[in-house]
Amino acid sequence: MTTAAIIVAAGRGMRAGGDIPKQWQPLGDRPVVAHSLAAFAGMRRVLVIHPDDSARAAEVAGDALVVHGGASRAASVRAALEALAGQGVTRVLIHDGARPLVSAEVIGRVLQALETAAGAAPSVAMTDALWTGASGLVTGTRDRAGLYRAQTPQGFDFEAILAAHRAFPGEAADDVEVARAAGLDVVMVEGEEENLKVTFPADFARAEQALRARKEMAMDVRMGNGFDVHAFCEGDGVWLCGIKVPHGRALLGHSDADVGMHALTDAIYGALAEGDIGQHFPPSDPQWKGAASRIFLAHAADRARQRGFTITSADVTLICERPKVGPHAVAMRGVLAEIMGIAVDRVSVKATTSEKLGFTGREEGIAALATAVLVAL
């Protein structure tokens, strides 16, 4: 089966305030209707617009077919259906351009229902008490049993809804009304409260809040750990987190043996699931003999950026009896932050001893632990 999605955005609805129709007003980083279009990415899409909005549509339509709507919603939908006629479409989803938060789950439920039904639409059962009113006063109540709030997308067998629109005499509240007038049964599927229709100014605030919540839930957060050890050897100082600290000995290693920077580099690679330093800079390769470890850390940070991640925090713990790290910790943080391209207040360097236990306690070498947190939106 071939499915097409019609996004209806030809209205002039100005109850939402602003100088332009609500579907073209910004929501987050793009217009309301752009969110609605994106929800149906991968399908054949038709965007129905008012002729005055052609320039705006060109900026968001992408591969969608743009069709000018009519004087009513029903006329606009029919224009889109006629544009799809004869194109091999077997079922169609008709969606309000001002419903930017429709989820893949709702769309999926409608499509699943269309496997066995000629029409399907999402709905939400009424839970509030219902009143009638006049002149600001309550004049009566209505039983809410059996009442539902209609949502979109409303899905149909293509030929059936095309025939229904061709036969329908005037305006309709939605496409379910058109379908039922033609004798089509429409199955209700579960909708969502978040699938709101932007109508009034306050709806933008609700939609913005929902978008922010979605982004937070969709964040890709990665955490990696690194551990490294280097033994002491003859020398006059040790490289720790990019700073040469005076000491009666040096650290033994293929590169400059910066144990702290090595641990942090491995933490970033680990968060990316890209192995460790040895896989990117093999110790068997003579070009890395005596290399500055900032090369390794810069490479790991670049890999994170290339994959869309931001390093949001980095924490290094150096384990040794001597040298004393505290007097150099601020400088170390600055070097690491500069190499990674992040703020210094996102970098921690601290030290501890092993209470004279083990190889670090016997001052045979230095160990380091590091953690890096990466976030992609």
Contacts of 311 (CB under 8 A, 6+ apart): 268, 301, 304, 340, 342, 346, 372, 373, 374
- pLDDT value, residue 369: 98
Residue where one domain finishes, among candidates 187, 217, 247: 217
Residue where one domain finishes, among candidates 188, 217, 246: 217
Q: Is the pTM of this model over 0.85?
A: no
Nearest to 349 by CA among 221, 276, 243, 249: 243
**Is 226 in the same domain as 169?**
no
**Is 196 in the same domain as 55?**
yes
Residue 40 sits in a domain whose CATH number is: 3.90.550.10
- How many domains is the chain partitioned into structurally? 2
Element spanning 203, H or E: helix 201-218
The answer to whether 260 and 314 have CB atoms below 8 angstroms apart is no
pLDDT in tens, 196-252: 999 999 999 999 998 888 877 767 899 999 999 999 999 999 999 999 999 989 899
- pLDDT value, residue 289: 86
The answer to whether 57 and 21 have CB atoms below 8 angstroms apart is no
**Is 250 in the same domain as 208?**
no
pLDDT in tens, 117-174: 999 999 999 999 999 999 999 999 999 999 999 999 999 999 999 999 999 988 999 9
Paired residues of 27 in beta bridges: 30
Mean pLDDT, to the nearest integer, of 290-302?
Answer: 93
Range of the domain at 366: 220-376
Contacts of 373 (CB under 8 A, 6+ apart): 221, 222, 223, 271, 311, 312, 313, 314
Q: What does residue 101 show for φ and ψ, rounded to 5 degrees?
A: -110, 15
**Is 150 in the same domain as 126?**
yes
pLDDT in tens, 314-345: 999 999 999 999 999 999 999 999 999 999 99
Residue where one domain finishes, among candidates 217, 251, 286: 217
- Helices 294-306 & 259-271, crossing angle to 10 degrees? 20
pLDDT in tens, 48-100: 999 999 999 999 999 999 999 999 999 999 999 999 999 999 999 999 999 99
**Is 190 in the same domain as 61?**
yes
Residue 188 in this model has a pLDDT that exceeds 70 = yes
pLDDT in tens, 243-277: 999 998 989 988 899 999 999 999 999 999 999 99
Residue 16 in this model has a pLDDT that exceeds 90 = no
The answer to whether 351 and 318 have CB atoms below 8 angstroms apart is yes
Residue 286 in this model has a pLDDT that exceeds 70 = yes
In the block, which residue shows the tokens 């599927």?
Answer: 189
pLDDT in tens, 347-372: 999 999 999 999 999 999 999 999 99
The answer to whether 285 and 332 have CB atoms below 8 angstroms apart is no
Paired residues of 133 in beta bridges: 138
**Is 213 in the same domain as 283?**
no
Say if residue 153 is preceded by a cis peptide, omega within 30 of 0.
yes
**Is 83 in the same domain as 35?**
yes
**Token couple for 266:** 């491995």
- pLDDT value, residue 18: 73
The answer to whether 363 and 205 have CB atoms below 8 angstroms apart is no
**Is 65 in the same domain as 118?**
yes
- pLDDT value, residue 14: 66
**Is 129 in the same domain as 141?**
yes
Residue 15 in this model has a pLDDT that exceeds 90 = no
- pLDDT value, residue 13: 67
Contacts of 7 (CB under 8 A, 6+ apart): 33, 36, 37, 40, 45, 46, 47, 48, 64, 95, 96, 97
Residue 345 sits in a domain whose CATH number is: 3.30.1330.50
**Is 101 in the same domain as 160?**
yes
- pLDDT value, residue 255: 86
Residue 21 in this model has a pLDDT that exceeds 70 = yes
Helix, strand or coil, per DSSP, at residue 229: strand
The residue type found at 113 is A
CA gap 22, 31 in Å, rounded: 9
The Cβ-side half-sphere exposure at 154, using a 13 Å CA radius, reads 22
- pLDDT value, residue 216: 72
The residue type found at 180 is R
Measured at the CA of 318, the angle between CA 316 and CA 323, to 5 degrees, comes to 140
DSSP E strand boundaries for 195-346: 220-234, 237-240, 243-246, 249-251, 310-319
**Is 155 in the same domain as 261?**
no
Task: With cut-offs at 50, 70 and 90, classify the pLDDT of residue 40.
Answer: very high
**Is 149 in the same domain as 36?**
yes
